[in-house]
Structure 1
């Protein structure tokens, strides 16, 4: 089976789908959650998801998740923050995030 060619925009913008309990419950509302590069904007994310998955995106919401301090004994460090996008697609369409 030939592999689908990934556009450079989709490769630059989308890091990975975020698979959490909340993200899997949003699938019932046709919303999918992706980790994205920090400098990407809503229009780039919309275009990348439409190119990569072949679906119609209705809207995109972006959340900047802040970094958090973590401790290991006496040493404190910081877990880096990231940017995530919640993408709503047209009803009846589906993105296969994880094979079942």
Structure 2
């Protein structure tokens, strides 16, 4: 497997929510990432895919909600989010897609 495919395995998708939009005003971009991905791996993947310089990476794991489907209790899977802060002058436009 080549390196580019590995980077796409690390970054699942960009997250576009109200909170993520507020973070983007301060130079941060929010991505859903693989649960096994570490901060250095996330930094390397973002720099390689988007050609930007990353200042910091903060991660959080969102626990899946318990939901009922057709009367049967189930659980959504846990999700890992990465708040990627970019160096001054670097931007990523997530609304256009990868």
Out of 4, 26, 33, the position equivalent to 1:7 is: 4
Aligned length: 94
| TM-score (ref. length: structure 2) | 0.89
**1:89 corresponding residue in structure 2:** 86
Output one character per residue of 1:53-77: Cα deviation in whole Å (capped at 9) or x when no partner.
0110001001011111012453211
Residue of 38, 44, 65 corresponding to 2:35: 38
2:64 corresponds to? 67
Structure 1 residue aligned with 2:14: 17
TM-score computed with the length of structure 1 as normaliser: 0.87
Equivalent residue, structure 2, for 1:58 = 55
Q: Which runs of 5+ in 2 are unaligned?
A: none
Q: Which residue of 2 aligns with 1:3?
A: none
Tell me how large the CA RMSD over aligned residues is.
1.4
CA distance in 1, matches of 2:8, 2:70: 38
2:5 and 2:71 map into 1 onto residues whose CA distance is 43
Q: Show structure 1 runs of 5+ residues with no match.
A: 1-5
Tell me, what secondary structure is at the counterpart of 2:25?
helix
Deviation of residue 34 (structure 1)? 0.3
**Following superposition, which runs of at least 4 residues in structure 1 exceed 3 angstroms of deviation?**
none
